[in-house]
């Protein structure tokens, strides 16, 4: 049980459970008592670990951004070809949004207005870095194309983020469309929209 | 002041104010007392008008769907050419999402999980009718194209809804991109993605 005493591990366990409760009840609807009960701590013990409800939401979102960095960003940065880098970013980001175990990602998507002040700025800085990576990759893809760009990298990046992030609202993994089929179809659709050809 | 005594007008006034408070505080974070204070009623008076907090959220969403029907659906249904019908649906839907006065639409987008049971089913039925209209229009556009469809109407419809609905998260009307430019760029992008050409 030595692992349980690692503070960062314990915080992550609390984050995972709290993310589920925020997802079910909303940030404003969930109380610290609800979360303390779910993680098996007293309310005082929970405050000792996370400081405040704001701070807990920040920790969840920061953890969600860690997952995004580990599962998507760190992998695609090694890909030299921008088209393949963009394709793998699409596949990885779709995977994060549709896999229910990454509920931290859903909290980032849904509770973006609940965080305030400095903590919100910190998360927004991390989000901006990711958006910038996508914009830059799109610009790199466009630069390899002889024709002039059809769409600004910024508008294209937000169209892509909208298509993918909106999946949490409607896509069900046990529905008729397999995740691989979805990722292929949305990747192809995006490249056609960006370049006017597949 | 006779107009103020029209019950449906009064409900709509309450809806508009309550929508703003739900937007600012979240559905779970806003109390009926907050809303009563904002509309100048006692809490008992507010309950008399709207029945319950659930019912109030339903009325806001139902009003939002009325606005969508009036501003988009009723206009595009008269357009015989499916390509033009789809283009005008995109322009009209973008307009609803980015105009801040249509905060009822934002509540529909953001609080979709807060409504429960029969009231939720009623709103979902109206949403489904709109999604079906978009899917059918996409299928009509594809049927006019000699090449086989590149994407199912359903996946294309949700890609479009994601691109447009996500605008409420990032697009600012006072930013560098004009609404007309945005609507043109996203319309062109969608048709290229759908058909492989502009």
Residue A100 C-alpha from the chain's centroid: 12
Each residue of B108-144: pLDDT tens digit?
Answer: 777 777 788 999 999 999 999 999 999 999 999 999 9
Q: Tell me which residue of B193, B190, B180 sits closest to B160, measured CA to CA.
A: B190
Instruction: Out of B30, B159, B185, name the one closest to residue A155 (CB).
Output: B185
Tell me: pLDDT of B147 over 50: yes
Please answer yes or no on whether A151 and B114 come within 8 Å at the CB atom. no
Residues of A in contact with B190 (CB under 8 A): 193
User: What residues in chain A have per-residue pLDDT under 70?
Assistant: 1-7, 100-101, 198
Interface touch B193/A196, C-beta < 8 Å? no
What's the CA gap between B27 and A113, in Å, rounded? Answer: 13
Cβ contacts of B167 on chain A, cutoff 8 Å: 158, 162
Residue B57, pLDDT score: 92
B156 contacts in chain A (CB < 8 Å): 189
Contacts B155 to A, Cβ<8 Å: 177, 182, 185-186, 189
Q: Among B110, B151, B166, whose Cβ lies nearest the Cβ of A162?
A: B166
Q: What CA–CA distance (Å, rounded) separates A118 from A52? A: 14
Residue B100: pLDDT band (50, 70, 90) is low
* Average pLDDT over chain A, rounded to an integer: 90
Give residue B136's pLDDT: 97
Task: Indicate whether B168 pLDDT > 70.
Answer: yes
Q: How far is A25 from chain B (nearest CA, A)?
A: 8
Measured between CB atoms, which of A26, A159, A170 is closest to B28? A26
Q: What is the spatial distance between Cα A80 and Cα A83, in angstroms, rounded to a whole number?
A: 9
The ipTM, to two decimals, is: 0.89
Q: What is the mean pLDDT of residues B63-83?
A: 94
Q: How many CB pairs under 8 A join A and B?
A: 110
pTM of the predicted model as reported, rounded to 2 decimal places = 0.90
- Provide the CA B141 distance to its chain's centre, in angstroms: 23
Exposure string over A117-152, b if 16+ CB within 10 A, otherwise e: eebbeebeebbeebbebbbebbbebbeeeeeeebbb
Can you give the pLDDT at residue A152? 97
Task: Tell which residue, A72, A99, A100, has the closest CA to residue A86.
Answer: A72
Chain B positions touching A197 (Cβ under 8 A) are 196
pLDDT digits (tens, 9 = 90+) for B169-195: 899 989 999 999 999 999 999 999 999
Which of A165, A177, A192 is nearest residue B162 as measured by Cβ atoms? A165
């Amino acid at each position: 049980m030595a692992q349980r005493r690692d503070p960062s591990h314990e915080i992550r366990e609390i984050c995972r459970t709290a993310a589920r409760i925020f997802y079910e009840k909303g940030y404003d609807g969930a109380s610290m008592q609800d979360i303390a009960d779910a993680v098996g701590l007293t309310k005082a013990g929970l405050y000792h670990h996370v400081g405040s409800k704001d701070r807990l939401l920040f920790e969840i979102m920061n953890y969600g951004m860690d997952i995004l960095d580990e599962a998507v960003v760190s992998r695609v940065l090694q890909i030299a070809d921008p088209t393949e880098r963009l394709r793998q970013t699409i596949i990885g980001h779709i995977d994060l949004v549709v896999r229910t175990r990454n509920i931290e990602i859903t909290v980032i998507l849904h509770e973006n207005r609940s965080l305030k002040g400095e903590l919100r700025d910190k998360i927004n800085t991390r989000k901006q870095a990711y958006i910038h990576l996508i914009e830059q990759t799109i610009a790199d893809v466009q630069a390899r194309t002889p024709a002039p760009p059809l769409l600004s990298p910024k508008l294209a990046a937000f169209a892509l983020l909208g298509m993918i992030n909106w999946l949490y609202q409607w896509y069900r993994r046990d529905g008729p469309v397999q995740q691989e089929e979805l990722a292929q179809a949305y990747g192809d659709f995006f490249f056609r929209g960006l370049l006017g050809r597949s």
